[in-house]
Structure 1
Amino acid sequence: MIRKGWLKVVLITTLAASILGACGSNNNNNNGNAGQNAGTASESQAGEKVKLTMWGAVPAEAGPQEVIDTWNKENPNIQVEYIRYVNDDPGNLKLDTALMTGQDADLFINYTVNLLQKRVDAGVALDLSSKTDYNIDEQMGVDAAQWKIDGKYYGIPTKKNMLFIWFNKNMLDEAGLPVPPVDWTWSDLREYANKLKKDNVYGLLQHDAAFTATIDGTIAGLGVTKPDGTSNFDNDLWKQQLQILHDMMFVDKSTPEYGEQVTSKMPVDTMFLKGEAAMLSAGEFIFRNANNLKDYPHDFKIAFATIPQVTADQKDYKYAGGLGDFLSVNAKSKHQEAAWEFAKWYADGGMLPMASGGRIPSSKSVDNKQAMDLLLKGLEDKYDSESMNKVVFGQFPSFQLNVPKQAIDARKEEYEKYFLNEQDIDTTLKNMAKRHQQYIK
């Protein structure tokens, strides 16, 4: 049985890799009027009942199913089914295989630019250049352009994105520590973690999605390459931040050792909400658990701070954020027009029920106050309003890291060796730059 299962995984992986490798303004708020534009789709005009499938990584019960149910109720001729995939390597492979092999996948959400690039290269993301009935730049703002591939849109960024530090404010108050300022540093964070750690309480936990937020924001400001065109993956700021984090693991013991966290698959958000950590580095996606007091009961107030920069005088530091949940239409879909109508409706307010889980729509057609009210409904006393308004709903210079996935994977392989004490920091930086340089060539 094990050998057969292994063979199946290999065959699926090979199939997806070979297929992918071979392939080279509407200002109206449509929320609450889902059928306004959908009737123009040729499929529904012809009287054919169209079935679409939309793939996304958010659990259906955390908002997507309510979105889909609203659309389906108002559009009997265009019915949508939501399929959840996990946003990890196996999950993205499953989606890519579905896109390329003709399985049901008319619409899909991308969570990183490098995965979008891969799908554009494979010819499965529809080029929206010919669509003149929706102005993405006007509806979503200047940050939308970070998702362009070769100057073109292959989908719509639909939500405001942000990574930040979550604080157990009760623990902050007990330690006599203020909520940090926006421009705090990793040295400050290390000091906070040391003062906040206790027996069975970590000073800091980090979600996988936020682990490289600082080094990504640093390289976004410095530039991926140096003026001479060589890799900038060996810069001194990366060295400083990685060293601080290593010391927090092995000297201070204020954050879990990397190997322990990975092998045990630590549920860091659950641990934070149970009071087993004073700080959590994560994104707005944690709101869907933090707001679920039935399954994640907690009696402390939550405050927020930005992901810290490396040094106080660091120039051009950018914050992991901008816009996310990039919704694309499958270029191989048989129902592209119907899928496009759904995509516009979703972006301009149809996705609003997901705000309660932290997914704040980015369209200017959506009332921000309405989204905030959904996010905080009945939970106003659970959050520190001042830091929430400053950080969660603040405006910061942001980026979408556009580096080939192979280079990101190689970088991870090298820093993992450092955090597993298999090589020193200088060797780690040297190897990261060397391997990145190979991809540049």
Structure 2
Amino acid sequence: MWKKTFAVALTAAVAAGTVAACGSGGDEQKAAQGGDAGGAKGNVTVRFHAQNVTFDKTMMAPVIAKFEEKHPGIKIDFVGMTEPTSDEVTKKIDLLAASGEPLDVFLLADARSYSQRAANGMLEPLDKYIEKEGFKFADEYKTDTKWNGSYYALPGTFNQWFVIMNKNHLDEAGLKVPTVDWTWDDYLDYAKKLTKGEGASKRYGTYYHSWADYFLLGMWNQPGKNDIVWTDKTVNMDHPGVRKSLDIRQRSEMIDKSAIPYADSISQKLTYRPLYFNQNISMMAIGSWMIGEVGGTDQFPATFKTVFAPIPRNEKSDPTGHAMSSSNYLAIASTSKHKEEAYKFMRFFSTEGLAMMQKYTTSWKKEDTGKLLDAIIGATKTPQNVDKESLLYVLNNTKPVTLPPALPYQAEVYKAYQEEVEKMLLGQQDIDKTIAAAKDKLQKLVNANK
């Protein structure tokens, strides 16, 4: 019901925006020519919406100042969104768009969110701006954002997935920092050995966050056909990585009791940062945005050293060193009245802006990664708590694996799959029933979208 209501509202909002855009054609033409599109003072204000935990006002201030210095006449209004999860941020952006709230540039957290909104007309195609500027996308960015033949976003941060581990807990258990040779079975063995205590004070070996990605751990290391519905719309539930994913979760949560149970995770609305920094868990798979956090922040001080390990392989016979990589997506609302200016900001931010922030690795191919890593680690509260040696080992010995372009109904694909996995994790069905039921649901979904 909500989805249908939103679709109607969004259509109305897009229609209203189209009328407004037609009415302000003179302004847009002047803006494209570098002229006055903002009244007597010559200022155009571009609003940038992003989750506050990703980019806050302090981080954004020098970036905005540098952009405004380079582009007099364009002002940036950063809107830090306080919703606690990226899913809630995306829902809020949808509601703002549907209600006719002025939107210019906004950040989408993942490929699924991006592709859905590109498909429903919410995003402005960027091809004409890229062609006008005259650069080759593949020469500039590590992540390809092309969807259905066009670009609707520029990539922002670049996240390489790995495992973060509490060095004190490893030493206590007599465990070495793993290398690319380890497997998910080794990971589960480590989780058992790192688990300590009982009841409310129990320390778990690992934790899987509520994101859909954590239901597909055994697909993260697959360089080919690594999603549950492939680009040719074939259902991929028979892939051995799917069964491995379910086995990892079932064994650690329900048999070994070495991972926080899913029921506790959702009922208590757990989040990974307090769990890790409060040492309630010893290790977890996560993305490289955590490089700038494991050395400690004002909100989450680091009182122990973090070491890094590669994403495990499924079996010892599998190739080593493959791991999922991802980006977030900077997009322009199709209803924006300042698209040219919005593009200029987005282009700056996805290149020089993110790099000068010295907080995250970026999707910009021209970044100085070594220098950036030193700056990111050095900016933490306690840089000595970041084990740079193991971090460089992981980054230098990992081949990035990316998911295929997301389907317009990708969120529905993961929702259908997740519903069946949840039943397994709550003890309502076994792995075989989970795979069979999810396969049936996904095939029906694909058939309905042909």
- Shorter-chain TM-score above 0.5: yes
Per the alignment, residue 269 of structure 2 pairs with: 265
Deviation of the 1:139 alpha carbon: 4.2
User: CA offset at residue 211 of structure 1?
Assistant: 1.4
Q: Return the offset for 1:120.
A: 1.4
Classify 1:393/1:123 alpha carbon distance in 2 versus 1 (closer, same or farther; 3 Å). Answer: farther
Amino acid corresponding to residue 370 of structure 1 in structure 2: K
Partner of 2:20: none
* Aligned residue identity for 2:280: E
The range that moved more, 57-66 or 247-256, is 57-66
The offset of 1:432, in angstroms, is 1.0
Deviations 1:181-204 (A, max 9, x none): 124211010111111111222111
Distance between the aligned counterparts of 1:62 and 1:284, measured in 2? 21
CA contact (8 A) 2:180 2:321 kept: no
**How many pairs align?**
413
How big is the shift at 1:376? 1.1
Q: Match for 1:386 among 378, 385, 389?
A: 389
Provide the residue aligned with 2:378 in structure 1: 377
| Aligned 8 A contact 2:140 2:366 in 1 | no
User: Does the aligned pair in 2 maintain the 1:186–1:311 contact within 8 Å?
Assistant: yes
| One-letter identity of the residue aligned with 2:313 | Q
C-alpha distance in 1 between matches for 2:352 and 2:72: 19
TM-score, normalised relative to structure 2 = 0.82
Taking the aligned partners of 1:218 and 1:436, their CA distance within structure 2 comes to 22
How far apart are 1:420 and its partner, in Å?
A: 0.5
**2:202 is the alignment partner of 1:212:** no
Contact 1:207-1:281 within 8 A present in 2 as well: no
Aligned to 1:429: 435
Q: Is the 8 A contact 1:349 1:361 kept in 2?
A: no
8 A Cα contact 2:10 2:98, kept in partner: yes
CA shift, 1:364, in A, is 3.1
CA distance in 2, matches of 1:228, 1:56: 33
C-alpha spacing 1:228/1:72, structure 2 compared with 1 (3 Å): closer
Partner amino acid, structure 2, of 1:381: Q
1:242 equivalent to 2:246? Answer yes
Greater shift after overlay, 159-168 or 78-87? 78-87
The residue identity in structure 2 corresponding to 1:241 is S
Counterpart secondary structure, 1:397: strand
| 1:88 Cα deviation from its structure 2 partner | 3.8
2:236 — aligned with what?
232
Cα shift at 1:95:
0.6
1:360 aligns with 2:369: no
Partner of 2:220, secondary structure, is: helix
Map 1:331-350 onto structure 2 (within 5 A).
331-350=334-353
Alignment of 1:144-155 (within 5 A): 144-145=143-144, 147-155=145-153
Per-residue CA deviations over 1:268-306 (Å, capped at 9, x if unaligned) read: 221211222211222233345434344323332111112
Task: State whether residues 219 and 242 of structure 2, in contact with CA within 8 Å, keep that contact through their aligned partners in structure 1.
Answer: no
Read off the aligned partner of 1:68 and give its amino acid letter: I
Tell whether 2:413 aligns with 1:407: yes
Give, in whole Å, the separation in 2 of the partners of 1:242 and 1:198. 24
TM-score (norm 1): 0.83
In structure 2, the residue corresponding to 1:365 is in which secondary structure? coil
Residue among 82, 88, 91 paired with 2:89: 91
**Equivalent residue letter for 2:8:** S
Determine helix, strand or coil for the equivalent of 1:333: coil
CA contact (8 A) 1:361 1:371 kept: no
Alpha-carbon separation, structure 2, partners of 1:259 and 1:78: 49
The CA distance in 2 between the partners of 1:19 and 1:278, in whole Å, is 45
Cα deviation for residue 240 of structure 1 reads 2.9
- Conservation of the 8 A alpha-carbon contact between 2:218 and 2:244: no
Cα distance between partner residues in 1 of 2:255 and 2:74? 58
Residues 2-56 of structure 1: per-residue CA shift (max 9 Å, x gap): xxxxxxxx8x7654233457989xxxxxxxxxxxxx9963446985311111111
Secondary structure at the counterpart of residue 109 of structure 1: strand
2-side partners of 1:114 and 1:252: how far apart?
32
1:53 aligns with 2:47: yes
Query: Using a 3 Å threshold, how does the CA distance of structure 1 residues 111 and 19 change in structure 2: closer, same or farther?
Result: same
- Aligned to 2:127, the other structure's residue is in SS state coil
| Equivalent residue number for residue 253 of structure 1 | 257
Distance in 2 separating the partners of 1:393 and 1:19: 47
Matching residue within 15, 38, 41 for 2:34: 41
Deviation of the 1:101 alpha carbon: 4.0
1:368-396 deviations in Å (ceiling 9; x for gaps): 23322321116442122221112246541
Q: How far is 1:431 from its partner?
A: 1.0
2:294 pairs with 1:290: yes
Aligned match for 1:196, one of 194, 197, 200: 194
